Amino acid sequence: MLENYYPLLVILSIAVFLGFLVVALGVLFGPRRPTARKGAPYESGMVPYGEGRRRISVRYYLIAVLFILFDIEIVFFLPWAVVLRQLGVEGLIGMFLFVGVLLVGFVYVWKKGALEWE
């Protein structure tokens, strides 16, 4: 069974090779004359102010955590979808219970305002 995955390793190594080859092309053929002005952050020609890496909104972390929760739910869906015909009504009831529990969480998150973006 595992031999189906060997071709994926082959194409992965070719893709890695190509990626580094393109970067190497630029390094080999491009000129390199750095100056202080060129190295400054680009802010549409204005004099840059403040730090480049600033504190970021906590919303992004919240979205990431919620994503992990619901993405795992989708991963549960995939094997269930493959064998649903064999499982029949029992599989259907099981999945409805599972989705029901998750929906309670989803409604809670929604009502708490975690999905609002100000």
Spell out the residues 6+ positions from residue 115 whose beta carbon is closer than 8 angstroms to its own. 109
CB of 96 to another protein, least distance (A): 7
Q: Which of 47, 58, 97, 99 binds another protein (CB under 8 A)?
A: 99
Please write down the HEC assignment for all residues of 45-97: CCCCCCCCCCCCCHHHHHHHHHHHHHHHHHHHHHHHHHHHHHHHHHHHHHHHH
Between the two ends of the chain, the Cα-to-Cα distance in Å is 50
Are the CB atoms for 84 and 92 separated by under 8 Å? yes
Q: Which of 58, 64, 111, 112 binds another protein (CB under 8 A)?
A: 64
Regarding 113 and contact with another protein (CB under 8 A), the answer is no
Regarding 98 and contact with another protein (CB under 8 A), the answer is no
Q: Which of 47, 89, 111, 112 binds another protein (CB under 8 A)?
A: 89
Regarding 101 and contact with another protein (CB under 8 A), the answer is no
The span from the CA of 74 to the CA of 78, in Å, is: 7
**Which parts of this chain interact with another protein (CB under 8 A)?**
4-8, 10-12, 14-16, 18-20, 22-23, 25-27, 29-34, 36, 38-44, 50-54, 56, 59-60, 63-64, 67, 70-71, 74-75, 77-78, 81-85, 88-89, 91-92, 95-96, 99, 106, 110, 115-118
